[in-house]
Every structure is written in C-alpha cells, then in structure tokens.
C-alpha cells in the first residue's frame, strides 16, 4: 500500500489530551501532565515509562506566553522521564504536527523505538492584545506586521480573495462554524462544548435576566449574520470565524511498527507524511489557497499510495473558517472553488461524504497553537478506533488525515494514518 522510503514503519499506540480551554490556575507543565496521564491510560496493553527514549515537543512560544523557554526537558522531568532525549519543535501553529513527523523520522532511522510526541500551549495568561502580538510573531515581522497585519487580517485577505475568485457568499463561512460547533458540542474536551444554537439561547436568556430587549434570531445563520450576535473582527472574518485563544496539552505515543502489537491490537500506522514551507503571504502568487499545503499533501499521498478519495476522515487546520474551506481544496477533497459549496451542502458534516473536523476543529475544540497538531491526531485515533462516542462517524473507517498549518501557510505538514485489522 505504501511507497515509503523509510526502512521501518511507525505506529501510534496511545493518545491523551487535557481539556482545551482557559485555565488560569494551570501552567503548561500541568497541562502536559494531564495529557500524559490520559495517554498512559489509553495504552491497551499497558505503558512502561522506562521504555520511552525521547520526547518531541511541539510548542509555538512558551517564551512569550509564559516566559519559559527550554520547555521540553522541563516537562519530561516533571513526569519523571529524565534523562531521555528531549527537544522542542517550533513551526508556529504547525509545531505539533511537525513534532509528530520528526519523531516518526527518528523512529524510522532506527535511533529510537518508543517516542512521546507532545503538543503544548498556555496562552491565556496574557491579555488578549498581547496574545495577538505574540501570534503576530509567526508572520514576517520585518515586512508584514509593520504594514498593519495581524492574523485575522491575513485570513480576511485570503477570504476576500477567495470570495472574489470563486463567487463564494459569506454564508459559506457560517456553515463551517455551525458544523464545527455541532461537533464540538459532542466533545467534552472542547473549549466550546456548545452548538451555535446553545450560544444563541444563552445570549437570549442573559438578555431576559438583565431586562434587555431579547434578540430575535430565527436561525443560526441569522445569528451569525447579525453583528450583535457575531461582531466583525476583520471582514469577512467575524467572531465565529475565528478559533479561540486556548490553553491545552496533547500527547501521543509512537513506536516502531514491529513493536506496535505489544501495546495494542488496534494501532494506527503512520503511512503518509509530507511537509513544505513558503515565504510570507505577501510573497505568494495566490491568496485563495495555501501552496505549502498542496505540496505537503502530495508528498503524503504519494508516500501512502493513496488518493484524496481514499481518506475517510480528516482533521484540518481551521484557525479561521476560510482556512477549512481552502484546506478542503488544497487536500484534493473538492476541486478548486468547490470547497465553499461542499461546506454549505453539508458534505463535510459527520454524516456527509467527507467528514472534516469531527472533533470540533480548532474553531470549537480550541486552538492552543502548539498542541493543535497533536490534538488532531488524537481525534483520528478515536475515530479510526471507533471510540469517539456520540460524535463517532459511522461505517468502516480506515484512513484518517491530519493537516496542520503554521502562520498564513509558511509551514504545512500532512500526516496520514491507517487502521489495519
């Protein structure tokens, strides 16, 4: 099935995550411990910490968020894993997915048999304006930021380009948000464990409590179209188009393929992986797609010997709703310019032909940036193993894909997993 150049395969045999959200009382090391403990419990045939040889930690900027760099040896020590090899990998919001890929290469090389992949970010200690500033350091701060851009602006520029090029209505973005909140409402680890209707109802009852005029939104679409419900951030991206500021940790256990069955009878095999880079947004020929995502996807499909139509479920990087629509095209699920129609038609819903972001995505599950790429793999772990509970996608799921983007597309990493029975 695979066209891998790697001399040996790699499998996921355990996965755990903290709840994503805002936790003023917790530091990133606390979040790591929570995720680590859940990972331990997830290993069907038992986890032996003495076998772990390395930690690859995806983290964007604990330097800025917590004034704590050199995080990898600290969290390893915190769970008693010193003196294993530890390192932090940074590729902005793609740090987690890149950490997983690099850990897999280290196993493929024969250097390690058993490796932990972590993803961590603790963002909510700073004021929101400082968070926006810290995130902006993922763009080109010599040329883009002085021009007035921050990330909502980058994705707003992509969204307007997309709308103009493909005649897409703003409502397409609403449908992404509605769908991801529907999924998040079924995920108890999600920061927004609520549908848009739940949020509308809460706003209405708050208005009643306070004796204010009660807004009359007839539908979720109407709510999202009303600036009182969904205030503008950077048009056409409004509040419910943006992933939140989050704290969270995620941990995945990777082992060499020949050891996988010692840990579980249902491992996931990493059968495809690709990674690519790009210059700043201002240097690109197109604003309506992410070239690095197309390149990374092509590499991953080729290695896996698969086509986009083979993929059963995908977690894609919906830092903004436009990003999910572009991803659904960059990954080849829909032709260019068709992603917005698929979103409106419900083709990416849990019961659609191509379920995307069944976890709630970054939009509803939350986006602790360095953890997001690892969190995506945890959803694929759950869905392919049939343990996703109320949000379980039906049918015989075999192939799952994770698509993780850094910045406005300067980095993209795609990993493809298979369940084999």
Contact positions vs a second copy (CB under 8 A) = 5-7, 27, 29, 54-55, 60-61, 63-64, 66-70, 72-74, 76-77, 81-92, 98, 102, 105-106, 108-111, 134, 137-142, 275-280, 283, 291-292, 295, 406-407, 410-411
Residue 46 per-residue DSSP state: -
CA distance 230 to 407: 24
Residue 42 near residue 15, CB atoms below 8 Å: yes
Indicate the residue among 18 and 27 with the shorter CB distance to a second copy: 27
Helix axes 321-330, 171-184, angle to 10 degrees: 90
Q: Which is nearer to a second copy, 274 or 366 (CB)?
A: 274
What minimum distance in Å lies between the beta carbon of 17 and a second copy? 22
Instruction: Assess contact for 283 and 142: CB atoms under 8 A.
Output: no
Shortest CB 124 distance to a second copy, Å? 17
Q: Which is nearer to a second copy, 349 or 412 (CB)?
A: 412
Q: Which of 93, 242, 319, 412 is catalytic?
A: 93
Give CA–CA dist 406/92, Å, rounded.
5
> In whole angstroms, how close is the CB of 95 to a second copy at the nearest point?
8
Question: How far, in Å, CA of 277 to CA of 296, rounded?
Answer: 9
Residues 418/273/392/180 CA torsion (nearest 10 deg)? -170
Neighbours of 78 (CB within 10 A): 16
Output 224 or 281, the one with its CB closest to a second copy: 281
> Shortest distance, CB of residue 377 to a second copy, whole angstroms?
17
Alpha helices in 331-411 (DSSP H): 339-345, 361-365, 369-385
Q: Minimum CB separation from a second copy for residue 385, in Å?
A: 26
CA distance 358 to 139: 29
The active-site residue, picked from 175, 181, 317, 367, is 367
C-beta of 17 vs 94, nearer to a second copy:
94
The DSSP secondary-structure symbol of 356 reads B
Per this entry, what is the length of the chain?
421
d(CA 416, CA 399): 7
412 is catalytic: no
Which residues are designated catalytic? 93, 367
């Amino acid at each position: 099935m695979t066209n891998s150049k790697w001399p040996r395969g790699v499998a996921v045999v355990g996965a755990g995550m903290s709840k994503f959200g805002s936790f003023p009382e917790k530091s990133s090391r606390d979040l790591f411990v929570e995720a680590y403990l859940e990972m331990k419990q997830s290993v069907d045939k038992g986890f032996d910490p003495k076998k772990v040889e390395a930690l690859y930690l995806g983290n964007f900027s604990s330097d800025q968020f917590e004034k704590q760099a050199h995080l990898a040896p600290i969290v390893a020590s915190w769970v008693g894993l010193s003196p294993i090899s530890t390192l932090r990998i940074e590729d902005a919001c793609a740090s987690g997915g890149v950490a997983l890929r690099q850990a897999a290469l280290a196993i493929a090389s024969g250097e390690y048999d058993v490796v932990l992949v972590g993803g961590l970010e603790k963002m909510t200690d700073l004021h929101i304006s400082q968070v926006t500033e810290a995130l902006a350091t993922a763009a080109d701060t010599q040329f883009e930021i002085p021009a007035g851009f921050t990330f909502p602006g980058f994705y707003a520029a992509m969204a307007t380009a997309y709308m103009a090029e493909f005649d897409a209505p703003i409502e397409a973005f609403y449908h992404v948000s509605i769908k991801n909140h529907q999924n998040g409402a079924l995920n108890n680890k999600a920061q927004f464990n609520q549908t848009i209707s739940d949020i509308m109802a809460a706003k209405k009852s708050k208005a009643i409590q306070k004796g204010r005029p009660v807004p009359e939104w007839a539908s979720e679409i109407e709510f999202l179209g009303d600036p009182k419900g969904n205030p503008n951030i950077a048009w056409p991206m409004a509040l419910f188009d943006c992933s939140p500021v989050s704290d969270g940790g995620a941990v995945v256990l990777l082992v060499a393929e020949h050891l996988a069955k010692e840990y579980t009878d249902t491992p996931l095999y990493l059968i495809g992986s690709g990674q690519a880079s790009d210059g700043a947004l201002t240097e690109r020929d197109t604003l309506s797609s992410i070239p690095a995502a197309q390149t990374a996807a092509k590499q991953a499909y080729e290695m896996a010997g698969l086509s986009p139509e083979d993929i059963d479920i995908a977690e894609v990087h919906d830092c903004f709703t436009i990003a999910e629509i572009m991803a659904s095209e960059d990954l080849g699920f829909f032709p260019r310019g068709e992603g917005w129609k698929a979103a409106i038609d419900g083709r990416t819903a849990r019961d659609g032909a191509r379920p995307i972001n069944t976890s709630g995505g970054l939009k509803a599950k939350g986006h602790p940036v360095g953890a997001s790429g690892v969190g995506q793999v945890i959803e694929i772990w759950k869905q392919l193993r049939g343990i996703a509970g109320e949000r379980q996608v039906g049918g015989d799921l075999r192939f799952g894909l994770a698509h993780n983007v850094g910045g406005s597309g300067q980095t993209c990493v795609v990993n493809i997993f298979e369940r084999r029975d």
